[in-house]
Amino acid sequence: MVFIATAEPRDAEMVARIAHHQAERPEEWTTINAPLDLAEALTGAPERACVIVDCLSLWVSNLLERDEEGTIAPLAVEAARCAAGRPAPTIAVSNEVGMGIVPANELARRYRDVLGRVNAIWADHATESALVIAGRQLSLGTEEDGA
């Protein structure tokens, strides 16, 4: 199992969160830190290993922070294609931030819109997509469904 982590330890609270997540992972898992270059991390993972990308939400935030909004969709397509082309499963974790109220500030609205596009790109390249709410999986369809 390969765990691709997109979080960056920028403050004490995030350092603690990352440490907590690392402690929960089995020791035999390999962790690849990829706050920006997700396609490279996916390409570098052993092709027979199941990969978990955690998470697209932080990855988008990292890219937006560097004012790379115009490059995020092409980078998402590249990474999603890498994931879809792997012989072993790739599981991408993301948040759905567009189901609530429209944020009051411009950056939050931009983030919500860009993340929504990234989630759609990954779903378009996925064999299967699901929304998980309160630990319950709701299928969003499969490749065969045209989802």
Query: Is the bond preceding 50 in cis, omega lying within 30 degrees of 0?
Result: no
- Angstrom distance (rounded) from CA 71 to CA 63: 9
DSSP secondary structure of 72-118: HHHHHHHHHHHHHH-SS-EEEE----TTSPPPSSHHHHHHHHHHHHH
Pairing, β 136-142 against β 128-133: antiparallel
Give, as one character, the DSSP assignment of residue 102.
P
Which residues are catalytically annotated?
21
> Per-residue pLDDT tens for 75-119?
999 999 999 999 999 999 999 998 888 999 999 999 999 999 999
The pLDDT tens digits of the residues spanning 112-138 come to: 999 999 999 999 999 999 999 999 999
Confirm whether pTM is higher than 0.85: yes
**Angle between the N-to-C axes of helices 106-125 and 69-85, in degrees from 0 to 180, rounded to the nearest 10:** 20
Question: How far is residue 110's CA from residue 136's CA, in Å, rounded to a whole number?
Answer: 29
Q: With contact defined as beta carbons under 8 Å apart, do 38 and 4 qualify?
A: yes
User: pLDDT tens digits for 5-56?
Assistant: 999 999 999 999 999 999 999 999 999 999 999 999 999 999 999 999 999 9
